[in-house]
Amino acid sequence: MSSVTQPSQLLSSILQPLDPEERVTILDLGAALPETLAFYSEFRVKLYFADLFVDLPLTVAEEGPGYREQFAALLQLPADVRFDVCLFWDLFNFLDDAAIRALLEVLQPHLHPGTRVHAFGARNRKLRAGGERYGICARDTLSVRYRTQALPGYRPLPQSTLQDLMTDFQFDRSVLLADGRLELLMHFRG
Amino acid sequence: MIGTSIYIKGTVTGEEDLVIQGKVDGTIDLGDFEVSVGESGKVTADITARVVRIDGEVAGDVTGSEKVVIAKSGRVRGNIIAPRVTLEDGAIFKGSIDMDPGDTRQGLAPVRTEKAGATPASNPAKNPEMDLKSG
């Protein structure tokens, strides 16, 4: 698995340093990577890692559990946890509309007004397959590890589609990357 | 050392370092000592020690008063509490990690709603700030 680094204009907004006494709770829906942990080791944080990419593709069988039940079982979040930051990476590009809505419904009790959200969308639906593993090297730098095999169920989502699905979130900023991905910064409105 | 053919169900305590190559279900409390779960080790237990190193499989909460290391062959599902946590390349982890380096001079804090909501007035929900990046 090869890896590169990628500058990010939005990461620093999510990881903005404020009060040194403040403890921050972060949900990362990607893989726990060494560089990410090394980066956070400087801070007072509680990290939740739930790599949903390993469970793709998510489907609903006729008599099986629905998306909500599946996400609740995969995430297993304590009832009282509230996230200050949620890192979705490009997970939305691998879920259908119903799955995205279900995931957000499961997460909403664990968000608070102002929870910051990072995700990747796409400029258009023709963007090449994604699904890389992302880590954090520095406040303004991501690590990108390319998978040897493409993940199933890829359907790149333009920002307009995501905005229609994420009605409880404010889209604050987006950055169009050279490869056609959109880096998105949002927050939960509550 | 708990060898590969040993299966322990219950509570493991002691006042020396411990290497686990076998299977343990229950609780492991080594206080100020070190626990190593070897590559063949399979632990379904909460672990408390000064240093915990995991090369095998652990399902349970891990508390290290000094540090916790998940090695490249390690697979952990549970919650980790330690001032320092190291993940080696290839390690698999699912759960929470509570880190407090103690002497940190920086911190991260949640956004304040009124700041994050600052967007163009015309139709803020549909007009977020857009940057074009050439790199």
Q: What percent of chain B has pLDDT over 70?
A: 74
Helix axes A97-107, A67-75, angle to 10 degrees: 50
Q: Cβ(B18)–Cβ(B27) under 8 Å?
A: no
Q: Cβ(B64)–Cβ(B34) under 8 Å?
A: no
Q: Per-residue pLDDT averaged across B73-90, rounded?
A: 95
How far is the alpha carbon of B69 from chain A, nearest alpha carbon, in Å?
11
Taking only the tens place, the pLDDT of each residue in A133-147 is 999 999 899 999 988
Chain B residue numbers touching A31 (CB-CB < 8 A): 92
3-state secondary structure of A109: helix
Tell me: pLDDT of B126 over 70: no
Q: Per-residue pLDDT averaged across A58-71, rounded?
A: 91
How far is the alpha carbon of A76 from chain B, nearest alpha carbon, in Å?
9
The first and second tokens of residue A168, run together, are 């409880």
Residue in chain B lying closest to A86 (CA): B110
Predicted pLDDT of residue A74 = 96
Q: Cβ(B61)–Cβ(B79) under 8 Å?
A: yes
How far is the alpha carbon of A21 from chain B, nearest alpha carbon, in Å?
7
The first and second tokens of residue A74, run together, are 């995969």
d(CA A175, CA A4): 19
What confidence tier does B117 reach under pLDDT thresholds 50, 70, 90? very low
How far is the alpha carbon of B5 from chain A, nearest alpha carbon, in Å?
31
Chain A residue numbers touching B105 (CB-CB < 8 A): 20
Determine whether the interchain pair A9/B130 forms a contact, defined as Cβ–Cβ distance below 8 Å: no
- In this structure, how many other beta carbons lie within 10 angstroms of the beta carbon of residue B22? 19
Taking only the tens place, the pLDDT of each residue in A27-58 is 999 999 999 999 988 888 899 999 999 999 99
**Most confident among A4-18, A142-156, B28-42, B113-127 (mean pLDDT):** B28-42
User: Could you tell me which of A77, A86, A71, A82 has the C-alpha nearest to residue A27?
Assistant: A86
Lowest mean pLDDT among A2-6, A33-37, B98-102: B98-102
Determine whether the interchain pair A172/B95 forms a contact, defined as Cβ–Cβ distance below 8 Å: no
Predicted pLDDT of residue B6 = 94
**Considering its fold, how many domains does chain A have in total?**
1
Chain A residue numbers touching B96 (CB-CB < 8 A): 46-49
Q: Which long-range contacts (CB under 8 A, 24 or more apart) does A11-14 make?
A: A11/A118, A11/A136, A11/A139, A11/A140, A11/A141, A11/A142, A12/A139, A12/A140, A13/A116, A13/A172, A13/A173, A13/A185, A14/A85, A14/A87, A14/A116, A14/A118, A14/A185
Determine whether the interchain pair B85/A49 forms a contact, defined as Cβ–Cβ distance below 8 Å: no
The first and second tokens of residue B85, run together, are 């946590």
Predicted pLDDT of residue A61 = 86
Q: What percent of chain B has pLDDT over 90?
A: 73
Tell me: pLDDT of B2 over 90: yes
Domain with residue A179: its CATH number is: 3.40.50.150
Q: Per-residue pLDDT averaged across A52-78, rounded?
A: 93
Predicted pLDDT of residue B106 = 44
Q: Cβ(B85)–Cβ(B62) under 8 Å?
A: no
Predicted pLDDT of residue B103 = 44
Select from A7, A43, A177 the Cβ nearest to the Cβ of B108: A43
What confidence tier does A190 reach under pLDDT thresholds 50, 70, 90? confident
Domain that holds residue A79: 3-188
- In this structure, how many other beta carbons lie within 10 angstroms of the beta carbon of residue B61? 16
Q: Per-residue pLDDT averaged across A61-85, rounded?
A: 94
Select from A32, A41, A171 the Cβ nearest to the Cβ of B101: A41
Determine whether the interchain pair A44/B129 forms a contact, defined as Cβ–Cβ distance below 8 Å: no
Q: What percent of chain A has pLDDT over 70?
A: 96
What confidence tier does A131 reach under pLDDT thresholds 50, 70, 90? confident
Q: A172, exposed or middle or buried, with CB in 10 Å at 0-12, 13-18, 19+?
A: buried
Q: B19 Cβ partners below 8 Å, 6+ apart?
A: B1, B2, B36, B38
Determine whether the interchain pair B135/A178 forms a contact, defined as Cβ–Cβ distance below 8 Å: yes
Domain assignments of chain B as residue spans, ordered by start = 7-101
User: Could you tell me which of A153, A131, A149 has the C-alpha nearest to residue A58?
Assistant: A153
Determine whether the interchain pair B97/A37 forms a contact, defined as Cβ–Cβ distance below 8 Å: yes
Determine whether the interchain pair A178/B89 forms a contact, defined as Cβ–Cβ distance below 8 Å: no
How far is the alpha carbon of B31 from chain A, nearest alpha carbon, in Å?
23
Q: Per-residue pLDDT averaged across B109-134, rounded?
A: 44
Tell me: pLDDT of A129 over 80: no
- Total-model pTM: 0.86
The H or E element that residue A98 is part of is helix A97-107
Predicted pLDDT of residue B128 = 54
What confidence tier does A123 reach under pLDDT thresholds 50, 70, 90? confident
